[in-house]
Amino acid sequence: MSVTHTLVEADVLRGQDPELADILLGELARQSTTLQLSAAENYASPAVLAALGSPLANKYAEGYPGARYHGGCELVDIAERLAVDRARALFGAAHANVQPHSGSSAVLAAYAALLRPGDTVLALGLSYGGHLTHGSPANFSGRWFDFVGYGVDAETGLIDRDQVRALARSHRPKAIVCGSIAYPRHLDYAFFREVADEVGAYLIADAAHPIGLVAGGAAPSPVPYADVVCATTHKVLRGPRGGMILCGAELAGRVDRAVFPFTQAGAQMNAVAAKAVAFGEAATPAFAAYARQVVANARVLAARLAAEGLAVTTGGTDTHLITADPAPLGVDGRTARGRLAAAGLVLDCCALPHGDARGLRLGTAAVTTQGMREAELDRIGALLAEVLRGAADTVGARAEVRELTGRFPPYPG
Ligand SMILES: Cc1ncc(COP(=O)(O)O)c(C=O)c1O
Protein backbone atom coordinates (compact mmCIF):
# COMPACT_ATOMS: atom_id res chain seq x y z
CA MET A 1 0.00 0.00 0.00
CA SER A 2 1.50 3.32 -0.95
CA VAL A 3 1.18 6.26 1.39
CA THR A 4 -0.45 8.38 -1.30
CA HIS A 5 -3.29 5.85 -1.33
CA THR A 6 -3.67 6.16 2.45
CA LEU A 7 -3.70 9.95 2.32
CA VAL A 8 -6.17 10.39 -0.50
CA GLU A 9 -8.08 7.13 -0.19
CA ALA A 10 -9.61 6.29 -3.57
CA ASP A 11 -9.50 9.97 -4.44
CA VAL A 12 -12.39 10.59 -2.03
CA LEU A 13 -10.71 13.58 -0.49
CA ARG A 14 -9.67 15.01 -3.85
CA GLY A 15 -13.24 14.64 -5.13
CA GLN A 16 -14.82 16.27 -2.10
CA ASP A 17 -12.21 18.76 -0.95
CA PRO A 18 -9.51 19.40 -3.55
CA GLU A 19 -8.18 22.35 -1.56
CA LEU A 20 -7.29 20.13 1.38
CA ALA A 21 -6.14 17.26 -0.83
CA ASP A 22 -3.63 19.65 -2.39
CA ILE A 23 -2.31 20.55 1.05
CA LEU A 24 -1.87 16.87 2.04
CA LEU A 25 -0.15 15.95 -1.20
CA GLY A 26 1.94 19.13 -1.04
CA GLU A 27 3.11 18.16 2.43
CA LEU A 28 3.93 14.64 1.22
CA ALA A 29 5.99 16.22 -1.59
CA ARG A 30 7.73 18.54 0.90
CA GLN A 31 8.60 15.64 3.19
CA SER A 32 9.80 13.59 0.22
CA THR A 33 12.01 16.21 -1.42
CA THR A 34 13.65 17.91 1.57
CA LEU A 35 15.78 16.41 4.35
CA GLN A 36 13.92 16.06 7.65
CA LEU A 37 16.75 16.62 10.11
CA SER A 38 14.54 17.63 13.03
CA ALA A 39 15.51 15.39 15.96
CA ALA A 40 11.84 15.06 16.93
CA GLU A 41 10.47 13.75 13.63
CA ASN A 42 10.31 10.53 11.68
CA TYR A 43 8.28 8.83 8.93
CA ALA A 44 5.60 6.52 10.33
CA SER A 45 5.07 3.41 8.26
CA PRO A 46 2.10 3.09 5.86
CA ALA A 47 0.65 0.51 8.32
CA VAL A 48 0.79 3.05 11.17
CA LEU A 49 -0.80 5.69 8.93
CA ALA A 50 -3.49 3.21 7.88
CA ALA A 51 -4.42 2.57 11.53
CA LEU A 52 -4.54 6.34 12.14
CA GLY A 53 -6.86 6.88 9.18
CA SER A 54 -9.12 3.94 10.07
CA PRO A 55 -12.74 3.85 11.35
CA LEU A 56 -11.34 3.53 14.88
CA ALA A 57 -11.12 7.32 14.64
CA ASN A 58 -14.92 7.35 14.96
CA LYS A 59 -15.07 5.43 18.22
CA TYR A 60 -15.61 6.98 21.64
CA ALA A 61 -13.98 4.93 24.39
CA GLU A 62 -13.73 6.65 27.75
CA GLY A 63 -12.23 4.39 30.39
CA TYR A 64 -10.15 1.26 30.02
CA PRO A 65 -10.70 -2.13 28.30
CA GLY A 66 -13.54 -3.96 30.03
CA ALA A 67 -14.60 -0.83 31.94
CA ARG A 68 -15.81 1.72 29.37
CA TYR A 69 -18.34 4.47 29.68
CA HIS A 70 -19.45 3.87 26.07
CA GLY A 71 -21.04 0.87 24.35
CA GLY A 72 -19.62 -0.90 21.32
CA CYS A 73 -16.05 -1.02 22.61
CA GLU A 74 -15.48 -4.77 22.11
CA LEU A 75 -13.02 -4.37 19.25
CA VAL A 76 -11.24 -1.23 20.40
CA ASP A 77 -10.77 -2.97 23.76
CA ILE A 78 -8.83 -5.69 21.94
CA ALA A 79 -6.77 -3.04 20.14
CA GLU A 80 -5.88 -1.28 23.40
CA ARG A 81 -5.02 -4.55 25.17
CA LEU A 82 -2.77 -5.40 22.24
CA ALA A 83 -1.03 -2.01 22.48
CA VAL A 84 -0.58 -2.35 26.25
CA ASP A 85 0.73 -5.93 26.04
CA ARG A 86 3.14 -5.04 23.23
CA ALA A 87 4.43 -1.96 25.11
CA ARG A 88 4.94 -3.99 28.31
CA ALA A 89 6.83 -6.70 26.44
CA LEU A 90 8.89 -4.25 24.38
CA PHE A 91 10.08 -2.24 27.38
CA GLY A 92 9.96 -4.92 30.09
CA ALA A 93 7.52 -2.81 32.12
CA ALA A 94 4.95 -4.17 34.56
CA HIS A 95 2.39 -1.59 33.44
CA ALA A 96 1.79 0.58 30.38
CA ASN A 97 -0.77 3.28 29.72
CA VAL A 98 -1.04 4.00 25.99
CA GLN A 99 -3.78 6.64 26.11
CA PRO A 100 -1.91 9.97 26.61
CA HIS A 101 -2.65 12.16 23.61
CA SER A 102 0.92 13.51 23.54
CA GLY A 103 4.24 13.52 25.35
CA SER A 104 3.11 16.57 27.32
CA SER A 105 -0.11 14.82 28.34
CA ALA A 106 1.98 11.89 29.59
CA VAL A 107 4.13 14.22 31.72
CA LEU A 108 1.03 16.00 33.05
CA ALA A 109 -0.44 12.64 34.06
CA ALA A 110 2.82 11.54 35.71
CA TYR A 111 2.83 14.72 37.82
CA ALA A 112 -0.86 14.26 38.60
CA ALA A 113 -0.18 10.69 39.75
CA LEU A 114 2.70 11.57 42.07
CA LEU A 115 2.51 15.25 43.07
CA ARG A 116 0.28 17.89 44.59
CA PRO A 117 0.24 21.53 43.40
CA GLY A 118 3.05 23.47 45.04
CA ASP A 119 5.39 20.47 45.34
CA THR A 120 9.06 21.01 44.54
CA VAL A 121 10.44 19.27 41.45
CA LEU A 122 14.06 19.12 40.30
CA ALA A 123 14.52 19.02 36.52
CA LEU A 124 16.97 20.07 33.82
CA GLY A 125 16.61 23.84 33.40
CA LEU A 126 14.94 24.99 30.21
CA SER A 127 18.00 26.91 29.05
CA TYR A 128 19.97 23.63 29.19
CA GLY A 129 17.47 21.50 27.27
CA GLY A 130 14.61 20.92 29.68
CA HIS A 131 11.17 20.62 28.05
CA LEU A 132 8.31 23.09 28.53
CA THR A 133 6.73 20.57 30.89
CA HIS A 134 9.82 20.69 33.09
CA GLY A 135 8.92 23.99 34.71
CA SER A 136 8.40 26.63 32.02
CA PRO A 137 6.50 29.57 33.50
CA ALA A 138 4.39 29.52 30.32
CA ASN A 139 3.34 25.91 30.98
CA PHE A 140 1.13 24.23 33.61
CA SER A 141 4.28 22.75 35.12
CA GLY A 142 5.86 26.08 36.02
CA ARG A 143 2.52 27.50 37.17
CA TRP A 144 1.50 24.63 39.45
CA PHE A 145 4.80 23.31 40.78
CA ASP A 146 7.91 24.78 42.28
CA PHE A 147 10.61 23.79 39.81
CA VAL A 148 14.31 23.95 40.59
CA GLY A 149 16.60 23.63 37.56
CA TYR A 150 19.89 21.78 37.34
CA GLY A 151 22.27 22.47 34.49
CA VAL A 152 25.10 21.20 32.36
CA ASP A 153 28.77 22.01 32.60
CA ALA A 154 29.50 25.03 30.36
CA GLU A 155 32.68 23.43 29.04
CA THR A 156 31.75 19.79 28.54
CA GLY A 157 27.99 20.19 28.02
CA LEU A 158 27.51 17.16 30.30
CA ILE A 159 24.98 17.10 33.15
CA ASP A 160 26.51 18.59 36.27
CA ARG A 161 26.08 15.68 38.68
CA ASP A 162 27.50 17.54 41.66
CA GLN A 163 24.91 20.24 41.13
CA VAL A 164 22.09 17.69 40.80
CA ARG A 165 23.10 16.10 44.10
CA ALA A 166 23.60 19.43 45.89
CA LEU A 167 20.24 20.84 44.70
CA ALA A 168 18.47 17.62 45.66
CA ARG A 169 19.96 17.78 49.15
CA SER A 170 19.11 21.42 49.69
CA HIS A 171 15.61 21.50 48.11
CA ARG A 172 14.40 17.96 49.04
CA PRO A 173 12.17 17.74 45.91
CA LYS A 174 9.13 15.48 45.79
CA ALA A 175 10.25 14.36 42.34
CA ILE A 176 13.34 14.49 40.15
CA VAL A 177 12.84 14.59 36.38
CA CYS A 178 15.53 13.34 34.01
CA GLY A 179 15.02 13.86 30.30
CA SER A 180 15.64 16.55 27.73
CA ILE A 181 14.77 17.89 24.32
CA ALA A 182 18.42 18.39 23.39
CA TYR A 183 20.79 16.24 25.45
CA PRO A 184 22.83 14.14 23.00
CA ARG A 185 24.31 11.68 25.50
CA HIS A 186 22.86 8.71 27.37
CA LEU A 187 21.49 9.61 30.78
CA ASP A 188 22.87 7.76 33.79
CA TYR A 189 19.56 6.60 35.22
CA ALA A 190 21.29 4.72 38.05
CA PHE A 191 22.82 8.01 39.21
CA PHE A 192 19.45 9.80 39.20
CA ARG A 193 17.89 6.84 41.07
CA GLU A 194 20.60 7.02 43.70
CA VAL A 195 20.06 10.76 44.25
CA ALA A 196 16.27 10.33 44.32
CA ASP A 197 16.58 7.58 46.91
CA GLU A 198 18.93 9.66 49.02
CA VAL A 199 16.39 12.50 49.32
CA GLY A 200 13.21 10.41 49.20
CA ALA A 201 12.04 11.72 45.81
CA TYR A 202 10.18 10.00 43.00
CA LEU A 203 12.21 9.61 39.81
CA ILE A 204 10.36 10.52 36.62
CA ALA A 205 12.19 9.77 33.37
CA ASP A 206 10.91 11.83 30.45
CA ALA A 207 12.27 9.58 27.71
CA ALA A 208 10.36 11.26 24.87
CA HIS A 209 13.49 11.34 22.71
CA PRO A 210 15.45 8.16 23.43
CA ILE A 211 12.51 5.73 23.89
CA GLY A 212 12.77 4.48 20.29
CA LEU A 213 16.47 3.77 20.76
CA VAL A 214 15.58 1.96 24.00
CA ALA A 215 13.04 -0.15 22.06
CA GLY A 216 15.74 -1.08 19.56
CA GLY A 217 18.34 -1.83 22.21
CA ALA A 218 20.52 1.12 21.18
CA ALA A 219 20.19 3.12 24.42
CA PRO A 220 19.95 2.21 28.11
CA SER A 221 16.46 1.78 29.49
CA PRO A 222 15.09 3.99 32.26
CA VAL A 223 12.43 1.38 33.10
CA PRO A 224 14.43 -0.47 35.81
CA TYR A 225 15.30 2.83 37.54
CA ALA A 226 12.44 5.32 37.24
CA ASP A 227 9.19 5.19 39.18
CA VAL A 228 7.42 6.50 36.08
CA VAL A 229 8.67 6.70 32.49
CA CYS A 230 6.96 9.18 30.15
CA ALA A 231 7.49 8.95 26.41
CA THR A 232 6.31 10.02 23.00
CA THR A 233 5.53 7.45 20.34
CA HIS A 234 6.34 9.55 17.27
CA LYS A 235 10.06 10.28 17.43
CA VAL A 236 12.68 7.53 16.87
CA LEU A 237 9.98 5.00 17.84
CA ARG A 238 8.29 5.81 14.50
CA GLY A 239 4.71 5.51 15.67
CA PRO A 240 1.77 7.93 15.59
CA ARG A 241 1.95 11.29 17.34
CA GLY A 242 1.11 10.49 20.94
CA GLY A 243 2.30 9.64 24.42
CA MET A 244 2.75 6.66 26.70
CA ILE A 245 3.52 5.99 30.36
CA LEU A 246 5.36 2.98 31.79
CA CYS A 247 5.54 2.14 35.50
CA GLY A 248 5.65 -0.63 38.07
CA ALA A 249 2.56 -2.50 39.27
CA GLU A 250 2.35 -0.50 42.51
CA LEU A 251 1.76 2.81 40.67
CA ALA A 252 -0.45 1.38 37.90
CA GLY A 253 -3.75 2.44 39.44
CA ARG A 254 -2.55 5.97 40.23
CA VAL A 255 -1.13 6.43 36.74
CA ASP A 256 -4.28 5.13 35.06
CA ARG A 257 -6.53 7.40 37.12
CA ALA A 258 -4.22 10.34 36.40
CA VAL A 259 -4.66 9.79 32.64
CA PHE A 260 -8.41 9.04 32.79
CA PRO A 261 -10.44 10.64 34.28
CA PHE A 262 -8.05 13.26 35.73
CA THR A 263 -6.34 14.72 32.64
CA GLN A 264 -8.15 13.19 29.65
CA ALA A 265 -11.54 11.78 28.72
CA GLY A 266 -12.03 9.75 25.52
CA ALA A 267 -8.95 7.94 24.29
CA GLN A 268 -8.14 8.32 20.58
CA MET A 269 -8.58 4.71 19.58
CA ASN A 270 -7.15 5.16 16.09
CA ALA A 271 -3.95 6.47 17.70
CA VAL A 272 -3.98 3.66 20.29
CA ALA A 273 -4.28 1.11 17.46
CA ALA A 274 -1.48 2.85 15.55
CA LYS A 275 0.69 2.67 18.69
CA ALA A 276 0.04 -1.10 18.76
CA VAL A 277 1.23 -1.33 15.14
CA ALA A 278 4.35 0.71 15.93
CA PHE A 279 5.19 -1.41 19.01
CA GLY A 280 4.84 -4.51 16.82
CA GLU A 281 7.27 -3.02 14.31
CA ALA A 282 9.69 -1.94 17.04
CA ALA A 283 9.90 -5.50 18.39
CA THR A 284 11.47 -6.80 15.15
CA PRO A 285 15.18 -7.39 14.45
CA ALA A 286 14.82 -4.94 11.55
CA PHE A 287 13.94 -2.18 14.02
CA ALA A 288 16.92 -3.04 16.24
CA ALA A 289 19.15 -2.71 13.19
CA TYR A 290 17.44 0.58 12.35
CA ALA A 291 18.05 1.95 15.88
CA ARG A 292 21.74 1.04 15.70
CA GLN A 293 22.02 2.69 12.29
CA VAL A 294 20.32 5.85 13.60
CA VAL A 295 23.11 6.20 16.17
CA ALA A 296 25.89 5.28 13.72
CA ASN A 297 24.55 7.90 11.31
CA ALA A 298 24.35 10.53 14.04
CA ARG A 299 27.95 9.86 15.04
CA VAL A 300 29.15 10.32 11.46
CA LEU A 301 27.11 13.50 11.05
CA ALA A 302 28.42 14.91 14.36
CA ALA A 303 32.01 14.12 13.38
CA ARG A 304 31.58 15.79 9.98
CA LEU A 305 30.03 18.92 11.53
CA ALA A 306 32.92 19.12 14.02
CA ALA A 307 35.46 18.65 11.21
CA GLU A 308 33.78 21.49 9.31
CA GLY A 309 34.25 23.79 12.30
CA LEU A 310 30.86 23.78 14.06
CA ALA A 311 31.08 23.54 17.85
CA VAL A 312 29.34 20.22 18.55
CA THR A 313 27.98 20.11 22.12
CA THR A 314 29.66 17.42 24.26
CA GLY A 315 31.94 16.72 21.27
CA GLY A 316 29.56 14.21 19.70
CA THR A 317 26.54 12.04 20.43
CA ASP A 318 25.41 8.67 21.82
CA THR A 319 21.95 9.01 20.33
CA HIS A 320 19.99 10.21 17.29
CA LEU A 321 20.42 13.82 18.39
CA ILE A 322 23.15 16.43 17.86
CA THR A 323 23.32 20.05 18.96
CA ALA A 324 25.90 22.39 17.52
CA ASP A 325 26.82 26.05 17.48
CA PRO A 326 27.32 27.36 13.92
CA ALA A 327 28.94 30.60 15.21
CA PRO A 328 32.50 29.54 14.18
CA LEU A 329 31.22 29.61 10.57
CA GLY A 330 30.12 33.22 11.08
CA VAL A 331 26.40 32.61 11.38
CA ASP A 332 24.00 32.43 14.33
CA GLY A 333 21.53 29.58 14.89
CA ARG A 334 18.39 31.34 13.66
CA THR A 335 20.02 32.63 10.48
CA ALA A 336 21.55 29.20 9.89
CA ARG A 337 18.18 27.46 10.22
CA GLY A 338 16.63 29.80 7.65
CA ARG A 339 19.49 29.44 5.19
CA LEU A 340 19.46 25.65 5.52
CA ALA A 341 15.68 25.46 5.10
CA ALA A 342 15.99 27.34 1.81
CA ALA A 343 18.45 24.68 0.69
CA GLY A 344 16.09 21.86 1.74
CA LEU A 345 17.77 20.91 5.02
CA VAL A 346 15.04 21.19 7.66
CA LEU A 347 16.10 21.34 11.31
CA ASP A 348 15.49 23.20 14.56
CA CYS A 349 17.15 25.81 16.75
CA CYS A 350 17.94 25.03 20.38
CA ALA A 351 19.50 26.50 23.49
CA LEU A 352 23.25 26.05 23.93
CA PRO A 353 24.97 25.23 27.23
CA HIS A 354 26.98 28.45 27.12
CA GLY A 355 25.69 32.00 26.61
CA ASP A 356 22.39 33.18 25.13
CA ALA A 357 23.03 32.35 21.47
CA ARG A 358 20.80 29.77 19.78
CA GLY A 359 22.34 26.68 18.26
CA LEU A 360 21.16 24.03 15.83
CA ARG A 361 19.49 20.74 16.82
CA LEU A 362 19.60 17.88 14.33
CA GLY A 363 18.56 14.23 14.34
CA THR A 364 19.00 11.20 12.12
CA ALA A 365 15.78 9.24 12.76
CA ALA A 366 13.98 10.27 9.57
CA VAL A 367 16.86 10.06 7.10
CA THR A 368 17.75 6.61 8.51
CA THR A 369 14.16 5.46 7.93
CA GLN A 370 14.74 6.51 4.32
CA GLY A 371 17.69 4.10 4.17
CA MET A 372 20.52 6.62 4.28
CA ARG A 373 23.75 5.42 5.84
CA GLU A 374 27.17 6.77 6.84
CA ALA A 375 28.22 7.97 3.36
CA GLU A 376 25.05 10.02 2.91
CA LEU A 377 25.24 11.48 6.43
CA ASP A 378 28.84 12.49 5.90
CA ARG A 379 27.84 14.30 2.70
CA ILE A 380 24.84 15.95 4.41
CA GLY A 381 27.17 17.32 7.11
CA ALA A 382 29.55 18.69 4.48
CA LEU A 383 26.69 20.20 2.46
CA LEU A 384 25.28 21.85 5.58
CA ALA A 385 28.63 23.51 6.26
CA GLU A 386 29.02 24.57 2.61
CA VAL A 387 25.61 26.27 2.73
CA LEU A 388 26.45 28.08 5.97
CA ARG A 389 29.83 29.20 4.69
CA GLY A 390 28.31 30.36 1.42
CA ALA A 391 30.50 27.88 -0.49
CA ALA A 392 27.39 26.24 -1.98
CA ASP A 393 24.64 28.38 -3.49
CA THR A 394 21.09 27.66 -2.37
CA VAL A 395 19.89 26.51 -5.80
CA GLY A 396 22.75 24.04 -6.20
CA ALA A 397 22.35 22.69 -2.66
CA ARG A 398 18.58 22.35 -3.14
CA ALA A 399 19.21 20.38 -6.34
CA GLU A 400 21.60 18.04 -4.51
CA VAL A 401 19.05 17.51 -1.73
CA ARG A 402 16.40 16.70 -4.35
CA GLU A 403 18.72 14.19 -6.01
CA LEU A 404 19.52 12.56 -2.63
CA THR A 405 15.91 12.30 -1.48
CA GLY A 406 15.00 10.98 -4.94
CA ARG A 407 17.37 8.06 -4.31
CA PHE A 408 15.95 7.51 -0.79
CA PRO A 409 12.21 8.17 -0.96
CA PRO A 410 10.52 7.92 2.46
CA TYR A 411 7.56 6.10 0.94
CA PRO A 412 8.81 4.11 -2.06
CA GLY A 413 6.24 2.98 -4.62
C1 LIG B 1 11.62 15.62 26.65
C2 LIG B 1 10.28 15.88 26.05
N3 LIG B 1 9.19 15.83 26.83
C4 LIG B 1 7.96 16.05 26.36
C5 LIG B 1 7.76 16.32 25.02
C6 LIG B 1 6.36 16.65 24.58
O7 LIG B 1 5.84 15.89 23.56
P8 LIG B 1 4.57 16.44 22.75
O9 LIG B 1 5.08 17.45 21.77
O10 LIG B 1 4.03 15.19 22.11
O11 LIG B 1 3.61 17.02 23.73
C12 LIG B 1 8.85 16.39 24.16
C13 LIG B 1 8.66 16.71 22.74
O14 LIG B 1 9.50 17.09 22.01
C15 LIG B 1 10.15 16.16 24.68
O16 LIG B 1 11.24 16.21 23.91
Over range 59-82, report the average pLDDT: 98
Q: Is residue 189 part of a domain?
A: yes
Domain count, the chain: 2
Q: How far is CA 288 from CA 130, 212, 213, 222, 269, in A?
A: 28, 10, 8, 18, 27
Q: Would you state the pLDDT for residue 7? A: 55
Q: Catalytic annotation on 235?
A: yes
Alpha helix locations (H) across 145-210? 161-171, 189-199
| Kind of pairing between the strands at 321-325 and 311-312 | antiparallel
- Residue 6 binned pLDDT confidence (cut-offs 50, 70, 90): low
| Cis amide leading into 261 (omega within 30) | yes
Regarding the beta carbon of 268 and ligand 1, being less than 6 Å apart is answered no
Same domain, 275 and 299: no
- Residue 1 binned pLDDT confidence (cut-offs 50, 70, 90): very low
- The residue among 282, 312, 343 that closes a domain is 282
- The residue among 236, 262, 282 that closes a domain is 282
Other C-beta atoms within 10 Å of 200: how many? 10
Q: Catalytic annotation on 225?
A: no
Same domain, 258 and 348: no
User: In angstroms, what is the C-alpha Rg of the chain?
Assistant: 21
What gap in Å lies between CA 141 and CA 121, rounded to an integer? 9
Lowest mean pLDDT among 52-56, 99-103, 353-357: 353-357
| Kind of pairing between the strands at 95-97 and 243-247 | antiparallel
Same domain, 318 and 223: no
Q: Is residue 17 part of a domain?
A: no
Q: Would you state the pLDDT for residue 355? A: 77
CATH code, domain with 212: 3.40.640.10
Q: Would you state the pLDDT for residue 357? A: 87
Q: Would you state the pLDDT for residue 12? A: 87
Regarding the beta carbon of 277 and ligand 1, being less than 6 Å apart is answered no
Is 212 labeled as ligand-binding?
no
Same domain, 304 and 399: yes
Alpha helix locations (H) across 308-373? 333-342, 365-369
Distance 134 CA to ligand 1 centre (A): 10
Regarding the beta carbon of 206 and ligand 1, being less than 6 Å apart is answered yes
Same domain, 85 and 138: yes
Mean pLDDT, all residues of the chain: 96
Q: Is residue 148 part of a domain?
A: yes
Same domain, 228 and 178: yes
Decide if pLDDT at 194 tops 90: yes
Q: Is residue 35 part of a domain?
A: no
Distance 220 CA to ligand 1 centre (A): 19
Over range 82-97, report the average pLDDT: 98
Are the beta carbons of 217 and 226 closer than 8 angstroms? no
Q: Which residues contact 105 (CB under 8 A, 6 or more apart)?
A: 243, 259, 263, 264
Is 243 labeled as ligand-binding?
no
- The residue among 239, 257, 282 that closes a domain is 282
Maximum Cα interatomic distance, the chain, rounded to a whole number of Å? 64
Q: Is residue 10 part of a domain?
A: no
Q: What single DSSP character describes residue 4? A: H
Same domain, 260 and 311: no
Q: How far is CA 88 from CA 13, 45, 80, 218, in A?
A: 37, 21, 12, 18
Q: Is residue 277 part of a domain?
A: yes
Same domain, 291 and 270: no
What's the sign of the alpha-carbon dihedral 185, 190, 191, 196? positive
**Residue 333 domain boundaries:** 286-407
Over range 276-298, report the average pLDDT: 98
Decide if pLDDT at 3 tops 70: no
Same domain, 299 and 382: yes
Decide if pLDDT at 285 tops 60: yes
Q: Is residue 393 part of a domain?
A: yes
Same domain, 300 and 228: no
CATH code, domain with 308: 3.90.1150.10
Q: Would you state the pLDDT for residue 356? A: 83
Mutation to probe ligand 1, out of 181, 204, 323 (largest number of atoms < 8 A from CB):
181
The closest of 33, 52, 28, 10 to 240, measured between CA atoms, is 52
Atom of ligand 1 nearest to the CA of 105: 11
Q: Is residue 87 part of a domain?
A: yes
Q: Mind listing the pLDDT tens digit for each residue in 121-164? A: 999 999 999 999 999 999 999 999 999 999 999 889 999 999 99
What's the sign of the alpha-carbon dihedral 3, 338, 319, 167? negative
Same domain, 298 and 278: no
Catalytic residue among 59, 235, 299, 339: 235
Same domain, 248 and 312: no
Q: Which residues contact 365 (CB under 8 A, 6 or more apart)?
A: 39, 41, 42, 212, 235, 236, 238, 294, 320
The closest of 178, 185, 279 to 226, measured between CA atoms, is 178
